[in-house]
Amino acid sequence: MYGISKEEALIMHIDLNSAFATTEQQAHPHLRGKPMGVTNRISKECCVIAASYEAKALGIKVGMRRTEAMAICPEFVLLETDPPKYNAVYQKLIKIMQSYSDNIKMKSIDEGIIDFHGMQHILNGRSLEEIGYEIKQRVKDEIGDWMKINVGIGINRFLAKEAAGWHKPDGLDRLDHTNLIKYYKERKLTDLSGIAERYGARLNAYGIMTAMDFLKAPEYMLKKQVFKSINGTYWYQRLRGFEMDDHETSLGMVGRQWVVKDPSDKDSYLLPCLSFLCETTGMKLRYREVEARGVAVWVTYQNGEYWHQRRMHKSTFYTNQEIYRRALELFNQRPHGIVRTMGIYTYMLTPSQVSQLSMFDDITKVRNITKAVDEINDFYGTFTVYAGTSLEGKKIIKQKIPFGGTEYFELLLKTA
C-alpha cells in the first residue's frame, strides 16, 4: 500500500548501548547496577558523556551537567574516560563482526553494520536472528559478561538502526515489510533516527505529526516543500526500506575545538591553547594524508556572541607551524571579549604531495623536520616533541574521545 520494499532483511545493526558506561561497569564490578557515568575531564561544570542504564532510569541524560546529575542522584558516580579501554572493546567487537562478513562498517566507536548481502551461503541456513543471538553471547564471552548489545535487522541501514533501538537494552528485533507499519504506528516522529527537534518542527509545520504521517507524506511534498532538496526523496525512500545510506562521505574539513577550561580574554592563556589545537589539527591532516588550502578560526564568547573568520591561501599547507601561523593571523583579529569556546578547522583538502620531490631546499627541509618529529612521536608517544608555543596549552587541554567517526581513534590512542 505504501510501496514498502519487500526485500529480505540482510542488514544487521549492532549497537553497544551506553558503551563507555557499560565498559566501565565491566571493569569496575562494584559499579554494576549503580547509577554512574563518564566524562572527559572531571570539573565543576563537566558534562555526562555516557550514562549507565541505571542512571538513565533515574532521568540522568547524556549532555547533562555534573551538578544537575548530582541533584537527581547524590550517589551518582562519575569517572573520567579511558580511551584505551574503549578501544579494546571496539577492536574485539570488530573482530567478532568480521568473523561473519567482510562487509562491515563501523558507524562510530560503539555501533556498526554487518551487510549480509551475498553472504547467505555462509549462514548455512541459519537466520539472522540466530546469528544475532550468537553475537550477543560472544560479546559476553569475549569482551565481558556485563556487556550488552542491541541488535537490529532491517532491509536497509536506517531500518536496521531503528530495529536496534526498538527494545533497549539487550534487544534483538527485525524490521521488514511484515511489521514496518506496526512499528511506525508505535513511534513518535522524533523517535526516528535522524529526526531531532529541528526536523521535527519543520515536519510539524506541514502537518506531519507522527511517524505514520511521515510515511504517508507524498514524495513531491517532502522534496519540494518540507526539505526543499533531494533529502525529501531520500527520506521518502529510506522510510520504505530502500537503501539511501550506503555511501562514503568525503573528507571536507579537519580541525579541533575546545571548551575553554577557564573562560578568559588573555592572549597569554589563549594563544598556547590555540597553538596546541593547531598541533592536533596538523597531526590529523598528516594522519589522513591530506593538505589544506583554507584555514578558519571561530570563537564563542561568554556573552553568547559568536565570531568566525576564514581565509583561503594559494598554496597548500600541512605542518603544525604553518597552520598556527595562518590561524594566529585570523585569531588576532577577533573582537575583545571573554572566550568560552574556540576552534580551528582547515578546509579545501587535497591529497598529500609530501612524497613528491621539491625543487626548493627550504620546502624539503620543512618536510624532513616534520617527518622526523612525527616519527619520534610515533615511536615514543605523541607529544614527545612539540612546539614551545604549545607548552602551556598541552598542560591545559585534555585529549577527548571521539564521538561519531572513528577515523582518528588510532591517532588518539597514541596520545592516551
Partner 1 sequence: MDPTIQINELVPMVPIFKPDASEILRCYPYKMRYRNQEIEFTIFGMRHPTAKGKRMIHVFDMSDGINDYRIEFDAERLLWTLVSMVEGHDVRD
Distance CA 160, CA 20 (A): 22
Answer yes or no whether residue 78 interacts with partner 1 by CB under 8 A.
Answer: yes
In terms of CB distance, is 287 or 347 closer to partner 1?
A: 287
x/- string (CB under 8 A) for partner 1, residues 102-141?
Answer: ---------------------------------------x
Among 80, 186, 267, 375, binds partner 1 (CB under 8 A): 80
Q: CB-based burial of residue 360 (10 Å sphere; 0-12 exposed, 13-18 middle, 19+ buried)?
A: exposed
The stretch near partner 1 (CB under 8 A) out of 74-82, 198-206, 223-231, 334-342 is: 74-82
Smaller CB separation from partner 1, 32 or 177: 32
* Using rule CB under 8 A, residue 398 touches partner 1: no
Grid look-up 546529575 returns 69
32 is an interface residue for partner 1 by CB under 8 A = yes
Residue of the chain from 18, 22, 52, 87 that contacts partner 1 (CB under 8 A): 87
Separation of alpha carbons 37 and 21, rounded Å = 6
**By CB under 8 A, residue 144 contacts partner 1:** yes
The window from 2-10, 78-86, 179-187, 294-302 that contacts partner 1 (CB under 8 A) reads 78-86
CB of 192 to partner 1, least distance (A): 34
Q: Between helices 128-142 and 83-98, what is the axis angle to 10°?
A: 140
Taking the C-alpha atoms of residue 53 and residue 5, their distance in angstroms, rounded to an integer, is: 35
The one-letter code for the residue type at 120 is Q
Count, residues near partner 1 per rule CB under 8 A = 31
Rg (CA), the chain: 24
With binding defined as CB under 8 A, does residue 84 bind partner 1? yes
Nearer to partner 1, 24 or 322 (CB): 24
Decide if residue 26 touches partner 1 (CB under 8 A): yes
- Long-range contacts of residues 23-28, Cβ cutoff 8 Å, at least 24 apart: 23/85, 23/86, 23/89, 23/147, 24/79, 24/82, 24/85, 25/52, 25/146, 26/143, 26/144, 26/145, 26/146, 26/147, 27/82, 27/85, 28/79
Would you count residue 414 as binding partner 1 (CB under 8 A)? Answer: yes
CA angle, 85 then 17 then 124, to 5°: 95
Binding mask 368-387 for partner 1 (x = CB under 8 A): -----------xxx--x---
